[in-house]
Every structure is written in structure tokens, then in C-alpha cells.
Structure 1
Amino acid sequence: MKKTIKLISAVVIVLCVSAFTINKTSTSEGYKIGDVAEDFTLKNVDGKMVSLADYKNAKGFIVTFTCNTCPYAVAYEDRIIALDKKYAPKGYPVVAIMPNNISIKPDDNLDAMKQRANEKGFTFPYLIDKEQTVYPKFGATKTPHMFVLQKTKKGNVVKYIGAIDDNYKDASSVTTKYVEKAVDALLQGKEVEQTTTKAIGCSIKA
């Protein structure tokens, strides 16, 4: 009888652990196309707190998870600046978020972010996800990792997830500008044709 009880207890424990693992996996995948992204409040390099709700007149957002130290992110900096200059006036500003654990990547700390933003002349907020609570909700895994959101009555709906374009090495050799195509479609009242691509970059350091 005792052996039977021990066996049943062991099976229950295994099932509970399995269920926890499955649940953890399913909830850590982040947003999918069509999901409503939760707003957030993060510190900008100017010391001010920034939320998406601050942008009263925005039609949507180009959210990028990026950093100072990843060569892929650095390679894309000018293109991210260009995205903001092109689309912020049309209602789709860039919002950049640095997701790395600064104890692992000290050169991604807020002071270093501020210096980088000044050097490059960032025209958009560069926020630090210090507690690393925002990037997991989005499901971001790389720097850079792009999310195009459209503001609707339901909230900020995810319309595109993935890479900026198809050539991180050379901007002049790009053949498909994924983010631009997505935003252009939304501005024209159309559906985004290619809603997901594989983000190319460094893994986010947790």
C-alpha cells in the first residue's frame, strides 16, 4: 500500500513539473501577430519616464529592442534613425529599448546608452528595460528585434515581428525592407503581407 502511495505521489509530481514547464514555455513566447501589446513605462536616456500612452497623436509604433554592444545592432543604427525620420512625421515613431542585463553587458548601462544616443543623434527615445520585464512580454530574443504596432480602439496591435530588412551587412544591398513595407501597408489601410521574419542579431543577455 505504501509503495502504491509513493508511486502515485511520484507520478503526480512528474505531471505537475511537466505542466509547469509547458505553461512556462507557452507564456514566455511573447506576442503573436494580432495580439494587443501592453503599455510600459521605462526610463529614457534623458532621465524621463516614457510610455506609449504619451504619444497621443501616434497611429502606431516601431518598437526596436537594441543595444550599444551588439555588432548587429550597431550596424543597424543608421537605418533605425532613418526609420524614425521617415515615419515619425507620419505617425509611426521609433521607440528603442535596451533589454540586456547590464551586469553581463556593463557597456549597455544607462550612461553608456546616453553617450551613444548623443554621439549618433538619436531622434527617438532610447529606454532601458532595467528590470527586464518588457522584452519577455514582447518575446524579443535578439538585438535588434523589431515590432510594428498599430494603434486601434482595442490597443496597440502587433502587426509585424522580425528583422528590419534582409541584409544587415550592407544597407545598399538590401532587397526587401520588411519594416518599411509593413508600415507603408498600414498607412495605406492595407494588411501587412509579410508579418513575420527571423530576427538577426545577438541574443538578449538575461
Structure 2
Amino acid sequence: MKKTIKLMSALVLILCISAFTMNNSDFGGYKVGDVAEDFSLKNIDGKMVSLSDYKDAKGFIVTFTCNTCPFAVAYEDRLVELDKKYTEKGYPVIAIMPNNTDVKPGDNMEAMKKRAKEKGFTFPYLMDEGQKVYPKFGATKTPHIYILEKTKKGNVVKYIGAIDDSPRNPSGVKVKYVENAVDALLSGKEVELKETKAIGCSIKV
């Protein structure tokens, strides 16, 4: 019996370590340097939104987020600030809600509309209806960030991961991953830190 318990404990530990060390490419999603496909998703205002709608954009800060995850909620104000800071510079925030709303009814369209109004979202808040977009990106968490740069080849992935190094506490931020990456792109420089571990709730399927 003790031997069985030890084996089970070892298996759980291995699975936990594997989950912690997996990166985006382990889930079949985009890697840094890949060209992201465009999409057409419904916004909270009922209109369909695509990346191609943004004729003057230099790139995008795409975030997979939701209403019900505490980590996503903790980042809402920071997303608004990112959009305010970078939209005029050519890098708007595009928020996508990827969860299955049968599993998480608190993430349905009506709840999305209510949350966006309460928080004063300045960016589109799109529903990944049918959950067709997030698997292409390889997103696994809410929030999960993808910075895309518009090029002649298309929208090239330049950064994948977390917004910053303080998921729960905005006052504890020491490294602003997204801001550093976008600032580098705006300066015509290479993004130094191209991938970090996204911290948040698993996407509900």
C-alpha cells in the first residue's frame, strides 16, 4: 500500500513539473516568429472585429482573458492602461474571451458587456464562439498575451506570455514584459525577452 502511494505521489509530481515547464509550442500554438492568421469575432457591441480592420496599426497586443478568473480580473486595469498608452502609438489591445460559456456562464456575452462597462474597457472584448481561435494561438491561460507586429509577411508573433511579473499585485510589478516588448518594437529593436510563462486560470473547454 505504501509503495502504491509513493508511486502515485511521484506520478503527480512528474505531471506537475511537466505542466509547469511546458511552453506555448507544446500545445501546438504559434511560436515566436510565426505569422498569426486573422480572425473575425463578435465584439460586445455586436459587430464583427478582425485584425485587418485596423488599417493604421503597427501591431497588436492580443490578450485571452475572461470575467471569472481572479488573475484576469487582477489585470483588467493594467490592460486598460496598456490600451491607453499604446493604441495611439499603433499597438491596440484586442481582448478575446476563450472560455466555454456552458462551463463558465459568468463569461457569457451579457456578462462580458456588463464587465466591460463596469471597468471602462477601451478596447474590443471579443467572444471566441466555438473556441476556434485560441487553439490556433496555443493559449492555455487567462490571461495569455500575444504581441503581434504587422509586417509584409503578415502579423508576426513577437512575444508570448504574461503581462508582467506580478500576477496578483499591480503595485509589486518589477518587470513589465509587454511594455518592454512593445517599446522595443516601436524603437525598431529586437524584443529581448520573447517568451514568459503565462500565469492564470486554465481555459475552460
Residue number in structure 2 paired with 1:56: 55
Residue number in structure 2 paired with 1:43: 42
Hey, what's the Cα distance between the residues in 2 that align with 1:82 and 1:28? 30
Q: Residue 175 of structure 1 aligns to which amino acid in structure 2?
A: K
Residue number in structure 1 paired with 2:76: 77
Residue number in structure 1 paired with 2:157: 158
Give the C-alpha shift of residue 27 in structure 1. Answer: 8.9
TM-score (norm 2): 0.87
TM-score (norm 1): 0.87
Specify every segment of 5 or more residues in structure 2 that has no aligned partner in the other structure, as ranges: 1-24
Hey, what's the Cα distance between the residues in 1 that align with 2:31 and 2:173? 26
Secondary structure in 1 aligned to 2:68? coil
Residue number in structure 2 paired with 1:110: 109
Aligned structure 1 segments of 4 or more residues deviating by more than 6 angstroms: none
Give the C-alpha shift of residue 202 in structure 1. Answer: 0.1
Hey, what's the Cα distance between the residues in 1 that align with 2:71 and 2:51? 26
Equivalence map 1:127-142=2 (5 Å): 127-142=126-141
Give the C-alpha shift of residue 112 in structure 1. Answer: 0.4
Q: Residue 179 of structure 2 aligns to which amino acid in structure 1?
A: E
Deviations along 1:150-186, one digit per CA (max 9) or x if unpaired, are 0000000000000000001211111100000000000
Secondary structure in 1 aligned to 2:28? coil
Hey, what's the Cα distance between the residues in 1 that align with 2:84 and 2:151? 23
Q: Residue 153 of structure 1 aligns to which amino acid in structure 2?
A: K
Give the C-alpha shift of residue 99 in structure 1. Answer: 0.1
Residue number in structure 1 paired with 2:121: 122
Identify if the C-alpha distance between structure 1 residues 40 and 198 changes in structure 2 by more than 3 Å, giving closer, same or farther.
same
| Contact 1:65–1:144 (8 Å) recurs in 2 | yes
Q: Residue 168 of structure 2 aligns to which amino acid in structure 1?
A: K
Residue number in structure 2 paired with 1:29: 28
Hey, what's the Cα distance between the residues in 2 that align with 1:182 and 1:47? 32
Is 1:179 the equivalent of 2:178? yes
Specify every segment of 5 or more residues in structure 1 that has no aligned partner in the other structure, as ranges: 1-25
Q: Residue 101 of structure 1 aligns to which amino acid in structure 2?
A: N
Deviations along 1:19-61, one digit per CA (max 9) or x if unpaired, are xxxxxxx895200000000000000000000000000000000
| Contact 1:28–1:137 (8 Å) recurs in 2 | no
Q: Residue 80 of structure 1 aligns to which amino acid in structure 2?
A: L
| Contact 1:45–1:113 (8 Å) recurs in 2 | yes
